[in-house]
Amino acid sequence: MIALFYFSWNYFHELSADQKKRIKLIFFEHREMACIGIQFERDTGIRNFVRSLDGILFSKTKSCYYLKFEEQRFKTLVNHIKEHKFYPDYSGFTQQYADYLKQGMIKEAEAVGELKNEVRKDASYAKFLDSFKIYLEQRRYSSNTINTYCLLIQKFLTWCGKPIEEISQDDLIRFNHKKIIGEKLSGSYQNQLINAVKLFFERMEHRSMEIESIQRPFRERKLPNVLSKEEVKQLLSSLRNQKHRMMLVTIYACGLRCGELLNLRLSDVDSKRNFLIIRQAKGKKDRYVPITVKLIEELREYFKMYKPKTWLFEGQRIGEPYSARSLQLVLKEALIQARIKKPVTLHWLRHSFATHLLESGTDIRYIQSLLGHNSPKTTMIYTHVSEQSLSKIKMPYDDL
């Protein structure tokens, strides 16, 4: 494993003293994530180079820039540094990474006893889970739904620890009470479990589970979380990396879901008609979303700098889409830089888009179309969070 980080030491002697602008690479864990730390003396050229790296983040606690660690990314980074005539110093990285692996092996060994029992149980359910996954794929469920349902069923079956044909409603009730209610998980999580259980057991010929009598929890009516226009502006202006900024800008400017943004191809941007084509979104539906001239111009500037080949927003490797996890980390770092303390998610930008449209007087039917909602009832929830509408209400206490 460590051998992957070996590079020719002759390289250190290939540069003259004045060329050796040192970039030190270190390994550390940050927020439960393995990271490549990037340290350097004050130098404008190095700073601009580091800031231009895809996926780059800054940690105040570590006082350095960093990237999510991947073995291939580390090797690519070292070569990239050399290509820009800088000196990569990773003399301490190898030992730091070795210590990290050693510590991980110790933790893993301590957990082996518990895992053995889980593995034995999981193995007996494997063929049923594989069959269930194939069934969902044939029904054209989204990859996120397939992964969620399979994971929920696996957790439920492993918790029951008995043959599938013996699992009944009583097991589901106990699992719900101890795991979902006991651990204070949401009603939507409980609903997802019931959806998965119904789909899984309705295909079983011999079963004790009476699917028809399974009851759902009362549906929660939660208001969407929204940022003000000032907070959105503050968030977007905190991003220095142009790709990072354009991804969040596009989500807010077009009201997109995270998956819709990451699935955008270059061919989906119709700059002549000022439309964005969202293909096979939630519910396997296509839709058009208008894009402003301002956004088109910003996307053109982004394209000139990054030159993506297939996807509008590509990841570290050319030809592959940007990952959802990396985008979440971008948002997390932007919130820190913007000093916004709210637990903002990417979906908050979509909620903010809809609410700000409503506050500016846009017809609710147009907002429904832009968001891709089946029913106007889904879109009507934004009428409850519109500050301008609420502020116009005259309270009876004021007349006393």
* CATH code for the domain of 191: 1.10.150.130
Question: Looking at residue 10, which CATH number applies to its domain?
Answer: 3.30.780
Catalytic residue of the set 62, 179, 279, 347: 347
Using the 3D structure, point to which of 22, 56, 91 is the last residue of a domain.
91
The answer to whether residues 285 and 147 belong to one domain is no
Catalytic, 80? Answer no
Q: Is 309 a catalytic residue?
A: no
201 and 343 in a single domain? The answer is no
In terms of residue numbers, what domain contains 57? 2-91
Q: Which of 80, 282, 287, 306 is catalytic?
A: 282
195 domain-assigned: yes
> pLDDT tens-digit profile of 34-81?
899 999 988 888 998 999 898 899 988 889 999 999 888 898 899 999
pLDDT digits (tens, 9 = 90+) for 208-230: 777 676 777 666 667 788 899 99
Please indicate whether residue 350 is annotated as part of the active site.
yes
Kindly name the residue from 244, 350, 351, 356 that is annotated as catalytic: 350
Judgement on whether residues 234 and 180 belong to the same structural domain of the protein: no
Q: Which residue has the higher pLDDT, 188 or 22?
A: 22
In terms of average pLDDT, the best of 6-15, 106-115, 267-276 is: 267-276
Confidence tier at 25 by pLDDT (50, 70, 90): very high
Residue 5 has a pLDDT of 46
Type of residue found at 322 = Y
Please count the structural domains in the chain.
3
Instruction: Mark which of 213, 246, 269 sits at the end of a domain.
Output: 213
pTM score, two decimals?
0.57
> Which candidate in 73, 257, 351, 356 is catalytic?
257
Contact (Cβ atoms closer than 8 angstroms) between residue 153 and residue 129: yes
Query: Region 184-190: what's the mean pLDDT?
Result: 81
Please name the residue that has the structure tokens 């490797």. Answer: 317
Domain contains 328: yes
If asked whether residues 253 and 342 sit together in one domain, one would say: yes
Query: Is 257 known to be catalytic?
Result: yes
Percent of the chain with pLDDT over 90: 28
Give yes or no for residue 120 having a pLDDT over 60.
no
- Annotation says 306 is catalytic: no
pLDDT digits (tens, 9 = 90+) for 288-315: 888 989 999 999 999 999 999 899 999 8
The model's confidence at residue 105, banded by pLDDT at 50, 70 and 90, is low
Does 203 participate in catalysis according to the annotation? no
The pair phi, psi for residue 68, each rounded to 5°, is -65, 135
Partner residues linked to 29 by β-bridges: 34
Mean pLDDT (whole number) for 12-19: 45
Task: Give the per-residue pLDDT at 119.
Answer: 44
From 91, 106, 124, the end of a domain falls on 91
Cα(87)–Cα(325) distance, rounded to whole angstroms?
A: 30
Whole-angstrom distance, CA of residue 141 vs CA of residue 147? 10
Structure-block tokens of residue 378: 């889904």
Q: Which of 187, 178, 121 is nearest to 153 (CA)?
A: 121
Mean pLDDT for the stretch of residues 112-117: 47
Question: Does 398 map to a domain?
Answer: no
pLDDT digits (tens, 9 = 90+) for 254-285: 999 999 999 999 999 998 898 889 888 777 78
278 plus 205 within the same structural domain: no
Q: Is the domain of 240 the same as that of 386?
A: yes
